[in-house]
Structure 1
Amino acid sequence: MHCWTELGQVPPGFGPSVVTIGNFDGVHLGHRQVLTRMVADARAAGTRAVAMTFDPHPLRLHRPDRAPELITGIRDRLELLAETGLDAVLVQPYTWEFAHQSPAEFVRRYLVDGLRAATVVVGHDVRFGWQNTGDLSTMVELGAEHGFTVEVIDDVSTPGAHRRWSSTWVRELLAAGDVAGAAEILGRPHRLRGRVVRGDQRGRDLGFPTANLAPDSDGMVPADGVYAGWLTRTAGRDPAPSELMPAAVSIGTNPTFDGATRRVEAYVIGRTDLELYDDEVLLQLVERLRPTLRFDSVDELVDTMHDDVAKARVVLGV
């Protein structure tokens, strides 16, 4: 899959293409269903399948107080988009200059001249151009003017579901600690990715050495608690990056020790020999085992940690 970070990187003469536009945060099952269908249609028509997305999220500029916490960082978003079979993704930097384009300017510059769209795939609620003045009827009119068709997609959900699949729903579930529920919409376990940094090293003293993720790690951090999951080293030393290791993951401030800083730390089950400092790791959270608790003694904490590991083994089947 080609990945372009500005319109000027699109090769001259690229296309014709089928283009869809969106944030695609989390690349959940609704996104994947639409994108895989779009890819199949593009293949049948002999065209290219392209997604246009934005970095940062538009609300970071327009309403920073209302900007959502992103489910996935841009790297994971691109990896997940690539899995749908797309030919290319244009990651458009969302700047004030870009935002000030009129709907007609955006369509001509990006969809017509840049990506040579034969078909544009949008939702019923599509908005584009300065102050969101462009809507579905505007896109259809501009399509007729420039020679591309507009395909409107319906909301996607599981049969009998009470609401459509959406990034908003995933965020609500993660905020409640329901990573298993989020996985049903994402079609995969929720991911956190970041560099391992040094913590207080209390876990090592207690017999549970942990890998602490840097505060600037990618992925929405779910509610405080203890989770069963998988850790993969994606950049660094041995073991090979492909090794999937079972883990018990703690998220919270460590109230037993009067901690004030919220942290994500993972204990790789049965491993006290790992050296992960400064390596990049990927955490996949499978199930929440319990909320964060304050213990009256270190012995009580250690006993509970042993129980957490036992429960994590059952959940992960190891």
Structure 2
Amino acid sequence: MQIFRHIPTTLQQPCALAIGNFDGMHLGHQALLARLTESAKSLNLTSAVMTFEPHPREFFTPESAPARLSSLREKLEHFKEAGVEQAYVCRFNRRFAKVTPQEFMQIILRDALNAQAILVGEDFRFGALRAGSTLDFLEAKFNLVSLPQVNLNGERVSSTRVRNALAAGHLQEAASLLKRPYSISGNVVHGAKRGRALGFPTANVHMRHERPALTGVYAVKLDGLNSVANLGIRPTIAGVQKLSLEVHVLDFKGDLYGKHVHVEFLHKIRNEMKFDSLDALKAQISADVTVAREFFM
């Protein structure tokens, strides 16, 4: 899959283009990408996706923006798995926010990307002040595929619904909305080795964003290995409170440093807690490991 981190200055090969934030890659996103690859094949076009970094709400209102479900790398991995041939990552900044719907359609979609078909959700808005809608695409004579909302158990599937399920600890509901367990990926980096000192060595997974959709202690799988993870700020440890994802892989003796890993969240064990002493913390970690082992039996 080709990845473009800027809008090309020369006209590209004709493409079918799906546009959106694609945060979480839920059932609705999956339906859109399936339709994209189908349409591109039938029209003999390149299949392409346009997404935005950062999320527009992170740019406009960072203090109240929703928790991120996917890092950019994770989104790109999903695009590739879906069979997308090209991905355009648009840097959402003040300049981009001022682009009018008409400029977006003519200068970017037509003159640069050579988009012959546009695929979006039925409520898609675009351009400065979100003034553009699917009606603008139709008036501009684009070949438009506007997908209706996808429902699950009588309710609309959305990134917000996924976030709410994760925040409530309803991992099975989130997995149903995603058609897979919710996961976070990142590189394993060196930490303070506190877990090792407590008898529970951990893989410290680098977090791309400081506001995750879930926190607490979980039974997880790290690249398929049964594990227990803590995602939070480690309130018992003195010092700077910084978000961390620490994963203790059960019965594992290998070296994970420097590897890019995927952590699947399968079962919530408890909320993050502050303990009076490291001995109390160690006892609780031991209990958490027992719960995780029972879950995987």
TM-score interval w.r.t. the shorter chain?
0.7 to 0.9
TM-score (norm 1): 0.82
Give the distance between the partners of 1:13 and 1:292, measured in 2 at CA. 50
Q: Percent identity?
A: 34
Instruction: Please point out which of 250, 257, 261 is paired with 1:269.
Output: 250
Give the distance between the partners of 1:125 and 1:56, measured in 2 at CA. 20
**2:215 match:** 224
- 8 A contact 1:248–1:266 mirrored in 2: yes
Inter-CA distance 86–198: structure 2 relative to 1 (3 Å threshold): closer
Give the distance between the partners of 1:283 and 1:77, measured in 2 at CA. 15
1:168 Cα deviation after fit: 1.1
Instruction: Please point out which of 238, 243, 251 is paired with 2:231.
Output: 251
**2:20 match:** 22
Inter-CA distance 217–179: structure 2 relative to 1 (3 Å threshold): farther
1:220 Cα deviation after fit: 5.6
Which sits farther off after the overlay, 55-64 or 148-157? Answer: 55-64
Tell me whether 1:121 sits opposite 2:119 in the alignment: yes
**1:6 match:** 6
1:34 Cα deviation after fit: 1.7
Give the distance between the partners of 2:167 and 2:245, measured in 1 at CA. 15
Instruction: Please point out which of 81, 87, 90 is paired with 2:88.
Output: 90
Inter-CA distance 314–43: structure 2 relative to 1 (3 Å threshold): farther
1:305 Cα deviation after fit: 2.9
Give the distance between the partners of 1:55 and 1:223, measured in 2 at CA. 21
- 8 A contact 2:219–2:227 mirrored in 1: yes
Give the distance between the partners of 2:59 and 2:216, measured in 1 at CA. 32
1:252 Cα deviation after fit: 3.3
Give the distance between the partners of 1:221 and 1:199, measured in 2 at CA. 19
- 8 A contact 2:32–2:120 mirrored in 1: no
Structure 1: runs of 5+ lacking an equivalent: 233-243
1:155 Cα deviation after fit: 0.3
- 8 A contact 1:228–1:248 mirrored in 2: yes
**1:286 match:** 266
Give the distance between the partners of 2:48 and 2:215, measured in 1 at CA. 38
**2:50 match:** 52
Coordinate RMSD, CA, aligned = 2.5
Tell me whether 1:111 sits opposite 2:109 in the alignment: yes
- 8 A contact 1:230–1:245 mirrored in 2: yes
Deviations 1:103-124 (A, max 9, x none): 1111011221222222212223
- Letter of the structure 1 residue corresponding to residue 246 of structure 2: E
Give the distance between the partners of 1:92 and 1:100, measured in 2 at CA. 13
1:195 Cα deviation after fit: 3.5
**1:142 match:** 140
**1:315 match:** 295
Give the distance between the partners of 1:57 and 1:167, measured in 2 at CA. 12
TM-score (norm 2): 0.88
**1:154 match:** 148
Structure 2: runs of 5+ lacking an equivalent: none
Deviations 1:161-189 (A, max 9, x none): 3x211111112222233333222211222
Inter-CA distance 294–63: structure 2 relative to 1 (3 Å threshold): closer
- 8 A contact 2:218–2:269 mirrored in 1: yes
Equivalent residue pairs, number: 296
Inter-CA distance 270–259: structure 2 relative to 1 (3 Å threshold): farther
Inter-CA distance 116–315: structure 2 relative to 1 (3 Å threshold): same
- 8 A contact 1:193–1:219 mirrored in 2: no
Inter-CA distance 18–277: structure 2 relative to 1 (3 Å threshold): closer
